[in-house]
Structure 1
């Protein structure tokens, strides 16, 4: 299930007696928990009616006793149990018995930091029967742009497609990092309603970003020596391989788009907007696109795909990227596959 669909279900006004949230992503678990607290708890008495326990450090009988306690000057009490991935058989049975006869004014939120659940035990069977298991699967690359847009929209703003592409390319796929950059963008743009490319460049611009630009620009110019120097600087700075590859891929998406638009006879004054770049940089991108034929660019995307597989399965990332840069700059992209 798409993560946004899960969040939408959690926001429903009709509260459940129990929620079971599980994911390997701590950020998603915390975000889902925040949504539930907002939906279930009265802001005035939130602290008095919300209790957090850890399964390894708490007595289940005490938790259940708290569950049967009426909320204080509010409609609902929320009990959060973390570490459910470590629950033992006896605890599982006790919670299953409670869920069969829960307190009508209590919502029990069970949180498991795991990518899968152990089916067949009494607790999971009871949870499945009630339809209250919420898997928070990792957000895919395809879902990431929508997740960014939703986060910005929740803050009362919009963000352009080009800005989303640049943001995720520079920051990578770590949700915590992206959320931190979104928060900075919201503050930076003030009363401005739409976040654009210039805003993202201003907020995430630092030495690391400048080095990344040097790398992609050098590759676009087929300047192997400069590209290799920029690559080594980025790797020594501790940049994640997926971010490096993401920005290289973005560079070639732009070059291919520009080459295609020029082939169609698109006016120069429209190309920059369609390609998602500043008009100031257009001439440079046009020069770079002329360095590659259309067939070469198609082969490059295949090469990038194979590099993506390699960096996820091998550890010699520097060697993998050095070979990629050499292939891109020296024209060795059509080698046998």
Structure 2
């Protein structure tokens, strides 16, 4: 049997891959893994179709098919279709294919012979519902407010959303079965709030030395580098939304509740943000947006750390 899995969200693709792998191993199938482009298509096809002496069945995972050349796609389609008895092939295409008509010829042939599934990230209210289902799988109940908050925090990054839900569940342990919006907000800001706030201030002041020193400390922490950058972005964004609300007469405590800000924002915090700092926030937000765009599919964490540091240093030059 041939499976063709496609979609834009790497986390959902990886989860589908994990499910198929678990099933294959439960069925005691031999498993092999390839990445399109890492080896000639002919070599991948030949090795995929050969059973070892120790297994009568196997499942072959061919990842990142979207990175294969048209020639390699044609060759894979010609050699692998139809899959021999006892061999399952799982193709992973890490982009969304709107319709088979828009796919390259080789991909069309593979899709026509496959069980096709799109791993599609939910949107809007469906995203919050997905978050609640994830929490239930961990034995916790996620309130609607908490689900909305976490979904808003993660945007369309399903991996980040799943990670935050798991952190909330772990932090509560056995003390509570329900995760509230306050629990979710506190967990998200608890680890790096102070450092991120310090980094944001340094960027606003154009204090290159302080910003890079704080950034280095943040990136040496347990968080994935892009999550550090994303949290910095969202913290700064909330602070300056708070400034606008404060200018409109809303109290600090009301703003903190509305924007899920931590208690370290005291009564005078928003009124003390200067017009100059507010203007500098736009630069900080532009910088983090550029970083996220450039580093979306970067390599290792060390490469991401290096690239983020270079971008920040260039911005503050």
Shared fold per TM-score greater than 0.5: yes
TM-score (norm 1): 0.56
Specify the structure having the higher radius of gyration (Cα).
1
What's the offset of the Cα at 1:193?
0.9
- The 4+ residue runs of structure 1 with deviation greater than 6 A are 139-143
| Separation of aligned partners in 1, 2:315 and 2:11 | 30
What's the offset of the Cα at 1:162?
8.1
Contact 2:154 2:161 in 1 (8 A): yes
Q: What SS does the aligned partner of 2:177 have?
A: coil
Aligned residues: 269
What's the offset of the Cα at 1:128?
3.3
**1:284-295 paired onto structure 2 within 5 Å:** 284-289=268-273, 291-292=274-275
**Change beyond 3 A, Cα 1:109–1:292:** farther
In structure 1, what is the equivalent of residue 77 of structure 2?
92
**1:185-196 paired onto structure 2 within 5 Å:** 185-190=168-173, 191-196=176-181
**1:185-264 paired onto structure 2 within 5 Å:** 185-190=168-173, 191-198=176-183, 201-202=186-187, 205-206=190-191, 209-216=193-200, 224=205, 228=208, 230-237=210-217, 239=219, 240=225, 243-244=228-229, 246-260=231-245, 263=248
In structure 2, what is the equivalent of residue 319 of structure 1?
313
What's the offset of the Cα at 1:31?
0.3
- 1:281-316, CA deviations, whole angstroms, 9 ceiling, x for partnerless residues? 241432344x238xx85x656534542465456964
In structure 2, what is the equivalent of residue 4 of structure 1?
none
In structure 2, what is the equivalent of residue 34 of structure 1?
18
What's the offset of the Cα at 1:110?
1.0
In structure 1, what is the equivalent of residue 111 of structure 2?
128
Structure 1 unaligned residues grouped into runs of 5+: 1-16, 70-78, 324-337
| Separation of aligned partners in 2, 1:244 and 1:61 | 45
**Change beyond 3 A, Cα 1:246–1:266:** same
Contact 2:230 2:288 in 1 (8 A): yes
Tell me which of 258, 266, 272 is aligned to 1:274: 258
**Change beyond 3 A, Cα 1:162–1:25:** closer
What's the offset of the Cα at 1:20?
0.8
Q: What SS does the aligned partner of 1:281 have?
A: coil
What's the offset of the Cα at 1:81?
1.5
Deviates more, 1:279-288 or 1:309-318: 309-318
Contact 2:150 2:164 in 1 (8 A): no
| Separation of aligned partners in 2, 1:300 and 1:267 | 23
In structure 1, what is the equivalent of residue 51 of structure 2?
62
Q: What SS does the aligned partner of 2:105 have?
A: coil
Tell me which of 18, 24, 31 is aligned to 2:2: 18
Q: What SS does the aligned partner of 1:112 have?
A: strand
**Change beyond 3 A, Cα 1:257–1:268:** closer
What's the offset of the Cα at 1:92?
2.9
Superposition CA RMSD, Å: 5.0
| Separation of aligned partners in 1, 2:158 and 2:214 | 18
Contact 1:245 1:304 in 2 (8 A): no
In structure 2, what is the equivalent of residue 72 of structure 1?
none
| Separation of aligned partners in 1, 2:94 and 2:236 | 36
Contact 1:22 1:114 in 2 (8 A): yes
**Change beyond 3 A, Cα 1:285–1:107:** farther
What's the offset of the Cα at 1:180?
4.6
Structure 2 unaligned residues grouped into runs of 5+: 35-43, 98-102, 220-224, 296-306
What's the offset of the Cα at 1:178?
6.0
Q: What SS does the aligned partner of 1:21 have?
A: strand
Q: Is structure 2 residue 283 aligned with structure 1 residue 303?
A: yes
| Separation of aligned partners in 2, 1:157 and 1:184 | 14
Contact 1:54 1:81 in 2 (8 A): yes
Contact 2:5 2:92 in 1 (8 A): yes
In structure 2, what is the equivalent of residue 164 of structure 1?
150
